[in-house]
Amino acid sequence: MIESVDLEPDGRGGEVLIARVRPKGGVGSRCSRCRRRCPGYDVSRQPRRWRGLDLGTTQVYLQATTRRVSCPEHGVVVAAVPWARAGARFTTAFEDTAAWLVCHATLSVVAVLLRIAWRSVSGIVTRVVTERAGAVDRLAGLRRIGIDEISYRKGQRYLLVVTCHDTGRLVWAGKDRTKETLGRFFDDLGTERAAALTHVSADGAEFIHNVVAERAPRAVLCLDPFHVVAWATKALDDVRRGLAGELRRGGRAEEAATIKNTRWALLKNPRTLSTDQRSTLAGIQATNGPLYRAYLLKEQLRAVFQARDLASARRLLTGWLAWAQRCRLPAFVKLAKTITKYRQLILNAVEHGLSNARSEATNTHLRLLTRRSYGLSPESLMAMADLTRGGLCPPLPGRAA
């Protein structure tokens, strides 16, 4: 219940609204960790404040005297308050609003709109996720999963993430791309649920293939089309940069600059090219044989995954390999070796129509998140990803459904 409401100078020329509150009888003597009723221990001398949702443009704080209780399990801890989560300096309504916003806007927008620091956003997300994850078993009913590596700290560190191909949700994440980390996922999953997995897609990492073969022997292993296309895109980029470098060294700076500017036309899906990019491509076709050849190689490899059926995919892939092996572009000759090695896993992906569109969206989102939140701990990153892509977004407070 509210005892009094006052405006107080905020020290920056404005005012904040302070609502002095007191929990209604009884609630004040529960442990904030387990909500169990416990004997009181003592009463704090200094009242505590929790940031609440703004009233118009004015920041609102709830202020209350807190008690500590003596919990048989958790020892002497702060008593639970009905308006905030344990350890939070924000009200539950404020935190749910922040978490909902994180799912619908960029982190910087959230921080500016709510006038909170990045660190606070990450703390809020962790608390909301911990609370909501307890209620959801995200490993239940998995059939087709994708295992992926996401780099953070500028590619120095990795998260291993598991997404569900059917829902597109992130279902598990662990630190470091190692067989031990993946082993922990299968430990969490358990033998019975691992046996129910029908398809597992992954990139070319050997350790993933080995662990999957051992722990989910009945699942068909597929090479993620996303990665195969990404390899081809990288090879094309290598060819383009190599040619630009050669031209520059040969004193043909203008032509080198032209090639440099073709990057987006070359890398984009042809169906989404702008008119300008189409003419750029036509220009390359007319003047630069090797670069155009590299472009076609990339596009034909992509076409393998869009083939009508397995037989046409097989034909396209065989044709692609023959062409790439004798294309005289070192980046593609090398790629042909890799593709030969994973030929069966690529055809598995085609045969089983493993659409990774949803999990790809999740991974793209994760990559974006890791790039932006440089400096956040992997735990915060995982919590953030759980919230936005793990189906844990809370409803906005005060709205029915």
Our CB check for Zn ion shows the closer of 34 and 139 to be 34
Which among 23-31, 44-52, 162-170, 227-235 is the span making contact with Zn ion, rule CB under 5 A?
A: 23-31
Number of H helices, E strands in the chain: 16, 12
Question: Which of residues 72 and 270 has its CB atom nearest to Zn ion in the complex?
Answer: 72
The nearer residue to Zn ion, 6 or 73, going by C-beta atoms, is 73
Strand order in the sheet with 170-175: 170-175, 157-164, 144-152, 199-202, 220-223
- Kindly state the tokens that stand for 333: 């000759």
Q: What's the rounded Cα separation, in Å, for the pair 165 and 147?
A: 10
**Alpha-carbon gap, residue 362 to 162, rounded angstroms:** 10
| Cβ 66 to Zn ion shortest distance, Å | 15
**33 vs 334, which CB is nearer to Zn ion?**
33
The least distance separating Zn ion from the CB of residue 29, rounded to whole angstroms, comes to: 12
Which region among 27-35, 114-122, 217-225, 393-401 touches Zn ion (by CB under 5 A)?
27-35
What are the b/e assignments for 7-39, b being 16+ CB within 10 Å? eeeeeeeeebbbbbbebeeeebbbbbeeeeebe
Q: Which residues pair with 58 in a beta bridge?
A: 55
By beta-carbon proximity to Zn ion, the closer residue of 36 and 193 is 36
Candidates 31, 99, 197, 243: give the one binding Zn ion (CB under 5 A). Answer: 31
Long-range pairs for 180-186: beta carbons < 8 A, 24 or more residues apart: 182/147, 182/207, 182/208, 182/211, 182/212, 183/211, 183/215, 185/160, 186/211, 186/215, 186/216
d(CA 88, CA 61) in angstroms, rounded, equals 13
Residue with smaller CB distance to Zn ion, 48 or 74? 74
In the complex, minimum distance from the CB of residue 234 to Zn ion, in angstroms, rounded to a whole number: 53
Query: CB nearest Zn ion: which residue?
Result: 31
Q: How far is the CB of 71 from Zn ion (least distance, A)?
A: 3
Query: Minimum Å distance from CB 68 to Zn ion?
Result: 12
Which segment (1-9, 29-37, 101-109, 227-235) binds Zn ion by CB under 5 A?
A: 29-37
Query: Least distance (Å) from Zn ion to the CB of residue 85?
Result: 14
CB atoms within 10 A of CB 1: 8
Rounded CA Rg of the chain: 27
With vertex at residue 354, the alpha carbon angle to CA 348 and CA 356, rounded to the nearest 5 degrees, is: 130
Q: How far is the CB of 75 from Zn ion (least distance, A)?
A: 8
- Tokens 């949702």 locate to 53
Surface-to-core class of residue 390, CB atoms within 10 Å of its CB (0-12 exposed, 13-18 middle, 19+ buried): buried
Characterize the bridge pairing of strands 144-152 and 75-78. unpaired
| Residue 76 or 396 with smaller CB distance to Zn ion | 76
Q: d(Cα 76, Cα 67) in Å, to the nearest integer?
A: 10
- 71 vs 383 by CB, closer to Zn ion: 71
Closest alpha carbon to 287 in 335, 255, 314, 312: 255
In 3-state terms, what secondary structure has residue 174? strand
Residue 69 CA to residue 30 CA, distance in Å, equals 7
Which stretch in 26-34, 144-152, 162-170, 260-268 sits in contact with Zn ion by CB under 5 A?
26-34
The correct pick among 20, 22, 33, 268 for binding Zn ion (CB under 5 A) is 33
Q: How big is the site for Zn ion, counted in residues (CB under 5 A)?
A: 6
Shortest spacing between CB 72 and Zn ion, in angstroms: 7
Please list every residue from 45 through 104 that binds Zn ion, using CB under 5 A.
Answer: 71, 73-74
Task: Name the DSSP class of 267.
Answer: H
Q: Min. distance of Cβ 33 from Zn ion in angstroms?
A: 4
Please pick, from the candidates 20, 29, 34, 314, the single residue that binds Zn ion as defined by CB under 5 A.
34
Q: Which is nearer to Zn ion, 30 or 132 (CB)?
A: 30
Q: Hey, which residues between 114 and 173 contact Zn ion (CB under 5 A)?
A: none
Closest CB to Zn ion among residues 30, 389: 30
Select the span of 31-39, 179-187, 207-215, 280-288 touching Zn ion (CB under 5 A).
31-39
Residues interacting with Zn ion, by CB under 5 A? 31, 33-34, 71, 73-74
